[in-house]
Chains A and B, each alone.
Chain A
Amino acid sequence: RKEVEQDPGPFNVPEGATVAFNCTYSNSASQSFFWYRQDCRKEPKLLMSVYSSGNEDGRFTAQLNRASQYISLLIRDSKLSDSATYLCVVSVYGSNYQLIWGAGTKLIIKP
């Protein structure tokens, strides 16, 4: 089992719709969680950190479920510009902090 798993997609979603995807992690000692966004042939950029209480940033909502070991990302009123790959990142403390990256979920917003 991979340490961080994501549905690769693609998720094809009409503009204006709501879309959600999850990321599961295997290490219960995981401490920090992040969503990064990566546009085609570009570098990843931080979208949002995921806090235990959940957090919202405009149309984006991130949730953490420690019991089931997954994080989620919800995008409301999706825009064409939301088309990208969304990468889940989990930090685990071993001998030092390690960041484990998922393979990403590809999202395509269609007009």
Chain B
Amino acid sequence: EAGVAQSPRYKIIEKRQSVAFWCNPISGHATLYWYQQILGQGPKLLIQFQNNGVVDDSQLPKDRFSAERLKGVDSTLKIQPAKLEDSAVYLCASSFPTRDSSPSYNEQFFGPGTRLTVL
């Protein structure tokens, strides 16, 4: 079974530039997550989708970050404009929702991440 795909794997940009990341979840996984992981810290949830709807984006810096999952399958995360503090690994994960629609009970499968460096 194919895992979660992400691209690009690495990206170096200058501050104030824009960048976009792409994620294709495991086939059939309705729930998709974008995380930011800064070196030495745990993953921080940016946004969670259930199919093409947003479940939680409370920690997404909406002045510069946006994400979409238009057809309920793959997703893009954009940063515009980037700041130095955005340097991190951006992880995408997917999971099956449970019958009671509590996705947190199910294992999350992560992609390899995109390592972003903002200079």
Contacts and interface: CB of A to CB of B under 8 A. Distances in A.
Interface of A: 4, 8, 31-32, 42-46, 87, 91, 93, 96-99, 101-104
Contacts of A98: 45, 56, 104
A45 B45 contact: no
Given A43-B110, A96-B56, A98-B56, A103 B42 contact: yes
B66 interface: no
B32 interface: no
B113 interface: yes
Chain A binding site: helix, strand, loop or mixed by DSSP? strand
Interface of B: 40-45, 55-56, 91, 102-105, 107-108, 110-113
B59 to A, nearest CB: 9
Given A91-B105, A96-B55, A101 B110 contact: no
A98 B105 CA distance: 10
Given A32-B105, A44-B108, 19 more contacts: A8-B40, A31-B104, A43-B91, A43-B113, A44-B43, A44-B91, A44-B110, A45-B110, A87-B43, A91-B104, A91-B105, A96-B55, A96-B56, A97-B104, A98-B45, A98-B104, A99-B104, A101-B45, A102-B42
Contacts of B105: 32, 91
A75 to B, nearest CB: 19
Contact of A101 (B44, B56, B111, B112): B44
A102 to B, nearest CB: 5
A45 B95 CA distance: 12
Contacts of A31: 104
A99 B111 CA distance: 18
B47 to A, nearest CB: 12
